[in-house]
Chain A
Amino acid sequence: MTEFRELDYTGSERLTMNMGPQHPSAHGVFRAILTLEGEQVVAVDAVIGYLHRCHEKLAETLAYVQYPSIASKTDYVAAMTSELAYVMAAEQIGKFEVPKRAQYLRVLAAELQRIASHCLWLGTWCMDMGGALGGGATIFLYCIRERELVLDLFEMLVGARLLYGFHQVGGVRYDVPANYDRKVRETIDLIEQRIGEYEQMLDDNAFFNMRTKGVGVISKALAQEVGVAGPLLRASGVNFDLRKNAPYSSYEDFQFNVPVDPVGDCQARYRVRMIEFRESIKIVRQVLDGLPEGPISSRPGVKSLAQVKVPKGEAYARVEGPRGEVGCYLVADGSNKPYRMKWRGASFSNLAVLPHILPGVSVADVVAIMGSVDPVFGEVDR
């Protein structure tokens, strides 16, 4: 049964305050039970699980051809990432070939997804931090405007805007439509220019700097020990990017830089992500320039549930999603369904750092820190 915490009337200065699960800055359903001394947080109990949908149990009952489209519902803001992790795990066990064109298309989808996801992060985070940043929802609406353009590209490619089902074991399901190249270039040119505009709005904004500089510092050691990944890890001074350190899907063919910032505060995470925006745009251009001809899948289109059988074995496939390492640990028993599947959600591990960094900050900073972590609760709760 639930334990009820008694309010302390004995004259202590401590106050227990419930934040969430319907708090607007939670970006989903996150409940933090904060113990406060005045404005300062002294302890935090994070409550998650409101969005738990039994993904891991479900995966044991669904065939390899069925689950990829469900995988996109874990991190619904970056659906391409989790689909890719799942099919890569199956491909690793079964040693299925993926044609070069499919690998490039996967990179194209992953990088466009990163741009879209970072747009949403920047908009919502700045809105959380309040009206000083260009008048309330200004930057939010700007970012959403640009994100819609990327979603248009996905709609052209897949037919869906948010949850795709683009990947399948052995390749991808859809080839690029006619004139896609031109449309993508137009969009990323525009976004590249707009990113500069956001930076002009934010970089010298005194309010923005006050709310982000030195706030929510994650040390290098803590980040590694908790398993914080992606932009957060790199903003804490660790030079690790799976696209460079363990290249998959032909990432070794592309030239790009991995931004690293040693400071570890909210602003460092902002700087890292802003550079990632531009690096992703660079990769997208290289994919379009070098897109090889050929088949998009080594296996035929999905016709029946028993079509993909994965031999006995285990694999852990990890991809660098917008929020960090998204991993799929798969145990196969030779049938058309996994024996066991484990999601290593990037948001889950990133969010787990909060109880370590929140004590000592003020309540207003909790919001800024939570936004800079960029959690997606579909992926936290799975």
Chain B
Amino acid sequence: MTYDRARQLLSTINGVTVADGGPPLTVNIAPEQFAAVAAFVKETIGCEFFSFLSAIDWKADGLEVVAWVDNLDSNMSLVLRSKLGPEGKSCPSLVGVYKGANWMERECYEMFGIHFDGHPDLRRLLLPEDWEGYPLLKSYAVDTPHPPYR
């Protein structure tokens, strides 16, 4: 598998645009297609290694989910990105495709409030059970008080 071949394969899918430049190959995906395209990337392009999944808060433009996967045999890296839109708060879960997404999505859920549809166990991971708010959102100030103080 090469970058050119991957670009060719991906650009035929509906709801997917492949950004110019790279490596890594940046693949912009419509939110509802996210898990399906990830499955395609894993099986057809051979990106079996799951590096990380996280999100970025673009303020007025809403949240964007970013996942990084690798094809270790061909030494290729793909960035899967999906803009959820200004009001978007949910995204299909990648756990069915990559087991490593489990904890990453749980962290993303508690930090950004993104609901990953189809996640088998969407609980908090790092924060206490009674934490209020989503700390990594830009609207959450660093010094937000959290009673009871501890």
- Please state if A52 and B48 are interface contacts (CB–CB under 8 Å): no
Q: Give the secondary structure class of B's interface.
A: loop
Q: How far is the CA of A35 from the CA of B66 in the complex (A)?
A: 34
| 28 cross-chain CB contacts under 8 A | A48-B126, A52-B126, A54-B135, A56-B136, A57-B140, A57-B142, A60-B142, A61-B142, A225-B100, A226-B98, A227-B49, A227-B50, A227-B52, A227-B98, A228-B100, A240-B49, A245-B72, A316-B68, A316-B79, A329-B54, A329-B68, A331-B56, A342-B54, A342-B66, A344-B68, A349-B52, A381-B126, A382-B126
- Please state if A49 and B126 are interface contacts (CB–CB under 8 Å): yes
Q: Is A30 an interface residue (CB 8 A)?
A: no
Q: How far is the CA of A52 from the CA of B124 in the complex (A)?
A: 13
| Closest chain A CB from B69 CB (angstroms) | 9
- Please state if A224 and B50 are interface contacts (CB–CB under 8 Å): yes
Which residues of A sit under 8 angstroms from B130, Cβ to Cβ?
Answer: 1
Q: Report the count of interface residues on A (CB-CB < 8 A).
A: 38
| Closest chain A CB from B140 CB (angstroms) | 8
One digit per residue, 1 when the CB lies within 8 angstroms of any chain A CB and 0 when it does not, for chain B 96-130 equals 00111011000000010000000000001111111
- Please state if B127 and A52 are interface contacts (CB–CB under 8 Å): yes
Q: Is A356 an interface residue (CB 8 A)?
A: yes
Which residues of A sit under 8 angstroms from B79, Cβ to Cβ?
Answer: 316
Closest to B125 in A: A49
- Please state if B99 and A222 are interface contacts (CB–CB under 8 Å): yes
Which residues of B sit under 8 angstroms from A316, Cβ to Cβ?
Answer: 24, 68, 79
Q: How far is the CA of A325 from the CA of B75 in the complex (A)?
A: 14
Given A58-B142, A227-B100, 17 new contacts (CB under 8 A): A49-B126, A49-B128, A52-B126, A222-B99, A224-B48, A224-B49, A226-B99, A238-B72, A316-B24, A327-B52, A331-B56, A339-B56, A342-B54, A349-B51, A349-B52, A349-B100, A352-B103
Q: Give the secondary structure class of A's interface.
A: mixed
| Closest chain A CB from B113 CB (angstroms) | 14
A60, A356, A381: the one contacting B99 at CB < 8 Å is A356
Closest to B98 in A: A225
Q: How far is the CA of A294 from the CA of B57 in the complex (A)?
A: 42
Which chain A residues numbered 1 to 57 have a C-beta less than 8 Å away from chain B? 1-2, 48-49, 52, 54, 56-57
- Please state if A246 and B75 are interface contacts (CB–CB under 8 Å): yes
- Please state if A352 and B102 are interface contacts (CB–CB under 8 Å): yes
Which residues of A sit under 8 angstroms from B66, Cβ to Cβ?
Answer: 329, 342
A49, A60, A225, A340: the one contacting B48 at CB < 8 Å is A225
Which residues of B sit under 8 angstroms from A348, Cβ to Cβ?
Answer: 103
Which residues of A sit under 8 angstroms from B56, Cβ to Cβ?
Answer: 331, 339-340
